[in-house]
Structure 1
Amino acid sequence: MFARWSARLRWLRRRFSRSEWGVYLLGLPRIRGAENERGLLLVQIDGLSRTQLERAIADNRLPHLKRLLDREKYRLHTFYSGLPSSTPGVQGELHYGERCAVPAFSFRENQSRRIMRMFEQASASSIESRLASTNTGLLTGGASYCNIYSGGADESRFCAATIGWGNVARATNLPRWLSVLLWHSPSLLRVIELSVIELALALWDFAGGLSSGFHLGKELKFIPSRVAVSIMLRELTVMGASMDLARGLPIVHLNLLGYDEQAHRRGPGSAFAHWSLKGIDSAVRRLWNEAQRSAARDYDVWVFSDHGQQHTIPYPTIAGKTIQRAIADVFDRGSVEATDPRAGGVQSSRAKWLG
């Protein structure tokens, strides 16, 4: 009797699931006949070290991850990122099996003699084309969200190599999108509410940054990018990945960027960086639940981080000049042909992945 009621409840949940209806309204294809094949959901928390993870769990910032460890037989393992310890290097090996796929996040390519910045589409797609020419991508037949590379995914969204929503936006007409937005109105209200809260926090952080002597222009630019990456990208990613799980795609890899975004700006142990982990934990919980409910196939859910971050003292603070200037002085060059140190990091650039 209880089994029958449980099955009935699962059927009702799927019947009124926003993900299931999103698939139907957008006319997205489903994978048929895969009920006996396992799928894989890879949830990446960008830039979160084991030290900061354990601290966040102890501070109750990650209640769902703690529940997985305590009740769902999940285990915590230390992961060595390799060199370089950055997202393009780790994902190059993960997606295509090539170690040290790039020497750094930004570098000068010998053949083309141009500066490659891996948050830019031209650079990321160029490197991925080279990787894909010799190896089959891990995500072939699946979906990729907010990664550097598509990983060979049939559906790549908000990735550096393939900016924007991908082929779904191009293949779907406006009435279908309006229907989906109407059906997902609770999610839209959630995004608006969280964006307002994040904007208020960003303004508070902006004032604190100015009082600490940070650059006015960079601080201003960080306000909208923080809201776009920490809230909008995250929620769109969860919505899209949830529909992919309902469809039964064999593999889905998504990257949650919010913590890394804040940690680069304010430090890996800062209050603002750890604040973002509560929203990330909520995203992991919703995705885990969607994976459990999927009628298309049974999913394994892996949660991991590509690399960590460490507090450091900037080189110019100690030496009084940039590393580019120091190298040029050693080789007695009059000009410096390298990445502009004033160009900033990835924080203000990943918002462009929205398209």
Structure 2
Amino acid sequence: MAISLHEPPSAPAARDWRADLRALLSWRRVLNRARAVLRSALVTFVVLTVTLWLMPGVTSTDIVDTLGLVLLVAGVGAVLRPLLLVGIVALGGWGAMLLGIVAQIVVIVIALEIDPANRISGLPSLVLTAILAIVFAAIVDWMLDSGSDDTFVRESKRLMRGVRRRQARLAGGPLLTLRRPRPGSDPGLLMIQFDGLSEPVLRWAVRAGNLPTLGHWLRSGSHTMRGWHTGLPSTTPASQAGILHGATRQVPAFRWFEKDTGKLMVTNRPRDAAVLEPRLSDGRGLLRDGGVSIGNAFSGDAAVSLLTVSHAALPGRSARGWAAFMASPYGFTRALVLGVGEVITELHQARLQRRRNLQPRVSRSGSFLALRPASMLLRDVNVSLIAEQMARGAPAVYCDLVDYDEVAHHAGPARPESMRQLESLDRMLGVLERLAPEAAR
């Protein structure tokens, strides 16, 4: 599955700053921005009202005071979030993940501290109030979205425009680069792998209407579906070794014992994947010449590898998509809260299987309870990283999304919960399609 993107003209002179300014001040852009600000203010007001009501010892819940606190949160966020984002970018990796959580708490704590009403005092109470507010905000936003990805798309587009503006400044072009790129002659290629998904299940899901994005692509003729026999072993690492490096003989199974070295090789273990990749690579992988690998087992000789098992590292300082996701209220914090919901959903679905005595059935407890929300978090992170690379103008991006595979292994390939994960991946394809016009190719 691929999305074709287009490249803008290379000459900065072709851009007119007056046209950019008109685009910035167009009624549609102003209206959309005003709508987003109003929604954010309403959500903040509701969240703070509920949070303060739940906090013990808070005597004043005056509406005017709460509206003032909403303005304080907005003002503190406008000042601090850009500074915190710089810190997150500088830290990279685990530092970005930790600071991303702290950033949301810090904004609310400072706003509460300088609140003239002084309804919350003491650092522990301030932190607890901030955490509750963040959790409630994630739940309210999820309820307002009603299954849509509009907020996520808006945040991703903002990230992509920021990347384009920075690239324009570095290239000596105009600082105001706001319009969508014009189509060019060199397209980009985005390759998305739905891990563990078979062709018969995919065709059945499309015919059943469960995958509207893919169904539309197939009906319109922009994409076609073709079967492919994986051969043996039919595992993700072996398949990706063939797709990305054109070599599969070095991966005889998911795990195996090597007589020469006396070691057990496990392909999803970073240190073993790092040993295997030099055996696979001849320097002419699928992603050579500037390609990007995101969330794969091997790199395909990509110039940039993000969350790739064989490289065993979190995205570094240059990956602003990672930093932006961690710092955004609609990113890591929201994913953590919704991840708890995924755990509850999984417990309910596993219990339902036991009550119905569905056979065959495997255990869905233990580490799988952590894997399910983790795969959802990884999906959203991957889409943010893809958006950044699309804005940078990467010629080719290959990304593996594992949501369906993780659930299907435990629930069954065509069970309702597996189909639910497949539907969420189809929505991600719709998100990427909506982001394509913002790309640099």
Fold match by TM threshold 0.5: yes
How many Å apart are 1:215 and its aligned residue? 7.8
Structure-to-structure mapping, 1:245-264, within 5 angstroms = 245-264=390-409
Among 349, 360, 384, the alignment partner of 1:205 is: 349
- Cα RMSD, aligned residues only: 3.8
Residue 234 (1) aligns with residue 379 (2): yes
SS in 2 for 1:219: coil
Structure-to-structure mapping, 1:131-150, within 5 angstroms = 131-132=280-281, 134-140=282-288, 141-150=290-299
Q: Which residue of 2 aligns with 1:128?
A: 277
Q: Which residue of 2 aligns with 1:222?
A: 368
Residue 290 (1) aligns with residue 435 (2): yes
2:416 counterpart letter in structure 1: A
Change (3 A) 1:27 1:177: farther
Q: Which residue of 1 aligns with 2:150?
A: none
For residues 129 and 28 of structure 1, the distance between their equivalents in structure 2, rounded to whole angstroms, comes to 36
1:139 counterpart letter in structure 2: L
Change (3 A) 1:196 1:108: same
2:200 counterpart letter in structure 1: T
Q: Which residue of 2 aligns with 1:100?
A: 249
For residues 187 and 172 of structure 1, the distance between their equivalents in structure 2, rounded to whole angstroms, comes to 15
Change (3 A) 1:69 1:124: same
Q: Which residue of 2 aligns with 1:38?
A: 187
1:129 counterpart letter in structure 2: P
1:38 counterpart letter in structure 2: P
CA contact (8 A) 1:206 1:223 kept: no
Q: Which residue of 2 aligns with 1:55?
A: 204
Q: Which residue of 2 aligns with 1:18?
A: 158
Change (3 A) 1:15 1:259: closer
Gaps of 5+ in 1: 298-355
Cα shift readout 1:149-186 (whole Å, capped 9, x = no counterpart): 12222221222212343334xx579xx9776655x433
2:344 counterpart letter in structure 1: A
Structure-to-structure mapping, 1:52-201, within 5 angstroms = 52-132=201-281, 134-140=282-288, 141-168=290-317, 171=318, 181-182=326-327, 184-188=328-332, 191-192=335-336, 194-201=338-345
Q: Which residue of 1 aligns with 2:410?
A: 265
More moved, 121-130 vs 78-87? 78-87
For residues 350 and 367 of structure 2, the distance between their equivalents in structure 1, rounded to whole angstroms, comes to 10
Q: TM-score w.r.t. structure 1 length?
A: 0.69
CA contact (8 A) 1:155 1:167 kept: no
SS in 2 for 1:107: strand
Count of residues paired in the alignment: 284
How many Å apart are 1:112 and its aligned residue? 1.2
CA contact (8 A) 1:22 1:243 kept: no
For residues 162 and 148 of structure 1, the distance between their equivalents in structure 2, rounded to whole angstroms, comes to 9
2:187 counterpart letter in structure 1: R
SS in 2 for 1:48: coil
1:20 counterpart letter in structure 2: M
Among 397, 412, 424, the alignment partner of 1:279 is: 424
Gaps of 5+ in 2: 1-18, 33-152, 174-182
SS in 2 for 1:259: helix
CA contact (8 A) 1:25 1:179 kept: no
CA contact (8 A) 1:206 1:220 kept: no
How many Å apart are 1:190 and its aligned residue? 5.3
For residues 181 and 233 of structure 1, the distance between their equivalents in structure 2, rounded to whole angstroms, comes to 12
Change (3 A) 1:22 1:85: farther
- Kindly indicate whether structure 1 or structure 2 has the higher relative contact order, using CA contacts under 8 Å at least 6 residues apart: 1
How many Å apart are 1:191 and its aligned residue? 2.8
How many Å apart are 1:188 and its aligned residue? 4.9
How many Å apart are 1:84 and its aligned residue? 1.6
For residues 25 and 209 of structure 1, the distance between their equivalents in structure 2, rounded to whole angstroms, comes to 51
Cα shift readout 1:91-148 (whole Å, capped 9, x = no counterpart): 111111113331111111232121111110111111101112x342221222111211
2:370 counterpart letter in structure 1: P
For residues 180 and 24 of structure 1, the distance between their equivalents in structure 2, rounded to whole angstroms, comes to 17
SS in 1 for 2:398: strand
- Greater per-residue helix proportion: 2
How many Å apart are 1:259 and its aligned residue? 0.5
More moved, 205-214 vs 10-19? 10-19
CA contact (8 A) 1:263 1:273 kept: yes
CA contact (8 A) 2:241 2:280 kept: yes
CA contact (8 A) 2:212 2:426 kept: yes
For residues 171 and 408 of structure 2, the distance between their equivalents in structure 1, rounded to whole angstroms, comes to 38
For residues 286 and 164 of structure 1, the distance between their equivalents in structure 2, rounded to whole angstroms, comes to 26
How many Å apart are 1:87 and its aligned residue? 1.1
CA contact (8 A) 1:30 1:248 kept: no
For residues 272 and 15 of structure 1, the distance between their equivalents in structure 2, rounded to whole angstroms, comes to 28
Bigger Cα Rg? 2
Change (3 A) 1:196 1:128: same
